[in-house]
A and B are shown apart, each in its own frame.
Chain A
Amino acid sequence: MTEPLLDIRRLRVYYGTPGLPVRAVDDVSLVIGEREVVGLVGESGCGKSTLGRGILGLLPEGARADGEVNLNGRNLVGLPLSALRRLRGPELGLIFQEPMTRLNPLLRIADHFQETLEQHESGLTQAEARRRSLETLGRMGIPPTRFNQYPHEFSGGMRQRIMIALALVLRPKLLVADEPTTSLDVIVEGQILALLADLKDNFGTALLLITHNLGIVAEACDRMAVMYAGKIVEEGPVRDVFREPAHPYTRELLRSTISLQTTELHSIPGSPPNLIDPPPGCRFHPRCPNAMRVCAELAPIEQRLDERRRVLCWLHGPAQRVPSGGRLPLEPEAIGMADEA
C-alpha cells in the first residue's frame, strides 16, 4: 500500500473529571487508505464517537489528546484550532446523527453552500460555486428546484442528504459519519447507506462509518474495526471478520445483531465498563464466555493473524507470555442483572 490517507498512531483521548480521567480512547492505532470504507463498531460508551471526533480535533473542553493523527503525512494532534478549521471541510468532513441541529434554520440551502464554499474556496466564481453545489446536491437526490428552500421544508432523510452534500461539496479526502442513519426509518436508512457506500466511486472519498449495527457494516464497508472500552480489539476485512470473528466480543456482537436471518435472540451479559477505572487485564474479561485466568491479570498483546487482520485477545497468544496455568478457564464472576445494560 502507498502512503495511507489517514494514519492514527497510539491515539489517546482522555476526558477530565473531578476525579480520575475518563480514558475514552486508549492507545488506538488505525489506518484508512484512499477510497476505503471502514466501519467502526461497538456498543454505546465504547469510545467510537470520541475516536471519530478525535480525528477531526472536535473534542470538548477538558479533553486531552496525545499520539498521532496523520492526515496525508501531517500530524493533526496539537495543531492550533485555526489550522484545524482550515483542514475541516477540504480535507476532512463530518456527518452527525441529527442533521437538523447542524443546519441553520434561518438560512436557505443555497446560503449554506455559498457560505461553506466562500470560507474554504474563495477563488470560485459565483456561477461555478452554484454549479458545483447543484451538482453535489443532485447526486444526493436533491433537485435544483429546491435550492432556495429552508431546512424546515425538507424531510429528515432529505436533510441528511443535504448534510452529506454540504460535506462533499468541498471534495474532502475523508468523511467521518457518526451514526448517520440512526434516527432515520429503515427504507430511508437504506437509501442513505447506498449513497455512502458509493462515495468512493462517485467522489473518491474515503469513509469512516461509525455505527452500532453490524448489518450496516456488512453491507456498506470494506474493512472494519471493533472497539471495546476505548481500545480496538479486532480489525480486518469485513468478509474475513464476519466469516471467522477472532475476538469473542466481535463474535458476541455478531450473534446479538437482530436481522431477518436471526433464528434466536442472543445478548451479551453485562454492559461495557466505565472508562475511569476499567477492569484489569483484558477489559472484556468479565463478560467474556472464553475468559481465561490470564485475561483477568495481564493486558492482552496485539497479535497479527495475517497481514490484514489483528486482534487483541489472549486466545490468540502469544503463548510464551501466558503464565503457567493462565489458560485455565476463569471462574465467571456472577454478573448481576443489576449491571446489565
Chain B
Amino acid sequence: MRPEISAQGPESHPDGLPLVSVRDLRTYYSIRGTFIDRLAGREAGIVRAVDDVSLDIRRGEVLGLVGESGSGKTTLGRTLLGLVRPTSGSIEFDGREISRLPERQWRPLRRQMQVVFQDPHASLNPAMTIEQAVGHPLQIHGLVRDREQMRLRVIEVLEHCGLAPGADFLAKYPSDLSGGQKQRAVIARAIILNPVLLVADEPVSMLDMSVRAKILELMLALKRDLELTYLYITHDLATARFFCDRIAIMYLGKIVEVGPADAIYADPKHPYTQALLRAIPEPDPERAVPRDLPRGEVPDAALPPLGCPFHPRCSRAFEPCGWESRDLRELLESRWARAAGAAGVEEEQAVVGDLGVLDRPTPEVRLAAPHGRSPAEIVALLERIRSEDPEEPFWRGIDRITAADTRVELDFHMPRQPQLERVGEVDVACHLYDAPPAAT
C-alpha cells in the first residue's frame, strides 16, 4: 500500500545497531501544585508522561509513534532530542549513551537530530525572513564563512523542499507564506544541517487535506535523498500508513502495541489500536459515523487507572484489567447523564451520596450509606443497574458486593499490569492475549 521507498532505506549499519535504542525510559513531570500546597509542604504529585518505554529506531526506517493527546508521545520525542531530561532509563544514539550528557555536549548531537513541530506558524519567528530562519542553524553551528555561502545553501535547501525558485523566498516573512509553504520552510531548516534523525511531531495535522499529501510526499522524497531516519509522531493512523515501516501505539505513557506497520493495519491486536483505526472518518457515504467508539477521553496522567491504563474505556475489559473505585463513579455518572432531567436521578444520587470518596484509586470500595439511607438501598440500586445492562464490562470486574452494617463493600478482582508480549508479528500489552487464553 505504501509508495515504493528505497527498499530498506540506507544499508543497515555494519554492526547492525539500531540508530536509537531506548531502554526503560521514564520521564516524569512533577506538578507544582498551588502556592499554599508548597507552603504547607504538600506533595502535589507527578505525571508519568513516559513510563517505562523501551524502543528501537532502526537506521533508515520510519517509526510511527501513535497516540492521542496525553499519551506521552510528544514527551518521548522531546526526551530523545534532549529537550526534556529523562527521570531514569537510557537512550543510546548511534551506540552512545546520551540521556545524561551535559548541555554543552548536546550541541554537536543536535546537528544530527532535528525536529519538525505541528504548528508551522509557531515554529517560525515572525520577525525573521525565511533566509534568516532557515539559515539560522548554520550560523549557530558556525558552519558558514559568509553571508553569500549561507544564502546559496539556504536557496539549495528551499528548492529541495519545493520552495522554488528559492531566491524568491529569501526576503519573505512567514506571514507571506501559506500554511503548506511555512511547513516546507520549517522542514528546510530542519534538514539544512544534514541530520541523521528527523523527529516529525504531527507535521501535517494542522494542514488542509489537500496539502497533507504534498508534505508527506516531500518527507518521503527527503528520506530517500538524504538517507534520513524518521520518528513520525501522530494521532492519525491514516497518514502513518503511507509513511511508516513500524508503528508503536502509545497510551498514557506506555507502549501498548508495537510491530511492523503492515501487521498492525492488517490485524490490530490491542482494543485501543482497533479503536484508533475505527475512528478515522472514511470518505464513504455508505459508512455511518461509528457509534461503538471507546467512551470518554484519555484520563489524567497524574493518577492513571490501575492495571491496564485503557481499561475504563475498553469494551472488552474483563477481570484482571484493573477495576477500581473511579470506575464505579464513571458508571454512575454516565448513567445519570443519560437520564439527566428525568425523575429518579436525584433520588439515586441521594442514595449513593458523595462520590468524592471514589476519587482515590483503590481496588476495593467502602461506601458509607448517607444519613438516613441504608447499605441495602445502595446494593439494590447497584443490582438494578446491573440487571439493566449486564453486558457492561464494569460488572466483570466485580468480585463481590456486600452490604455491611453501615456501608457497602465492593471488591474488585485484583488488578494486573499487562506487559508487552509477542503475539504473532507484534508485541502487545493486553490481557486478552494472556496465555493460557482467558475467557471473556
Whether A138 sits at the interface, judged by CB under 8 Å, is: yes
Q: How large is the interface on A (under 10, 10 to 19, 20 to 34, 35 or more residues)?
A: 35 or more
- B window 165-218: CB within 8 A of A: 165, 168-169, 178-181, 208-214, 216-217
Given the known interface contacts A194-B289, A194-B293, the answer about A341 and B208 at a Cβ–Cβ threshold of 8 Å is yes
- B window 382-423: CB within 8 A of A: none
> In the complex the two chains form, is B340's CB within 8 Å of A135's CB?
yes
> In the complex the two chains form, is A193's CB within 8 Å of B3's CB?
no
> In the complex the two chains form, is B293's CB within 8 Å of A137's CB?
no
What B residues does A254 contact at CB under 8 A? 283
> In the complex the two chains form, is A214's CB within 8 Å of B333's CB?
no
Chain A: minimal CB distance from B342 (Å): 8
> In the complex the two chains form, is B341's CB within 8 Å of A135's CB?
yes
What A residues does B168 contact at CB under 8 A? 338
Whether A337 sits at the interface, judged by CB under 8 Å, is: yes
Whether A122 sits at the interface, judged by CB under 8 Å, is: no
> In the complex the two chains form, is A253's CB within 8 Å of B209's CB?
yes
**Interface stretch of the complex, out of B8-16, B53-61, B231-239, B252-260:** B231-239
Whether A264 sits at the interface, judged by CB under 8 Å, is: yes
Produce 1/0 per residue, A227-269, CB < 8 A to B: 0000000000011001100000000111011111111111110
Given the known interface contacts A267-B213, A268-B210, the answer about A143 and B281 at a Cβ–Cβ threshold of 8 Å is no
Given the known interface contacts A144-B349, A145-B336, the answer about A190 and B289 at a Cβ–Cβ threshold of 8 Å is yes
Give the residue of A43, A187, A218, A338 whose beta carbon is less than 8 angstroms from that of B276: A187
Q: How large is the interface on B (under 10, 10 to 19, 20 to 34, 35 or more residues)?
A: 35 or more
Chain A: minimal CB distance from B33 (Å): 15
Q: Please, how many angstroms separate the alpha-carbon atoms of A199 and B168 in the complex?
A: 50
Chain B: minimal CB distance from A126 (Å): 14
Produce 1/0 per residue, A184-217, CB < 8 A to B: 0111111101100100000000000000111111
Produce 1/0 per residue, A134-176, CB < 8 A to B: 1101110111111000000001111000000000000000000
Whether B291 sits at the interface, judged by CB under 8 Å, is: yes
Whether A313 sits at the interface, judged by CB under 8 Å, is: no
> In the complex the two chains form, is A239's CB within 8 Å of B239's CB?
no
- B window 34-82: CB within 8 A of A: 68-69
Q: Please, how many angstroms separate the alpha-carbon atoms of A278 and B37 in the complex?
A: 59
Whether B24 sits at the interface, judged by CB under 8 Å, is: no
Give the residue of A138, A191, A265 whose beta carbon is less than 8 angstroms from that of B216: A265
Whether B127 sits at the interface, judged by CB under 8 Å, is: no
Whether A80 sits at the interface, judged by CB under 8 Å, is: no
> In the complex the two chains form, is A44's CB within 8 Å of B336's CB?
no
Pairs of residues from A and B, 9 with the lowest C-beta to C-beta distance, nearest first: A138-B340, A135-B341, A215-B281, A143-B333, A185-B68, A267-B213, A190-B279, A143-B337, A341-B180
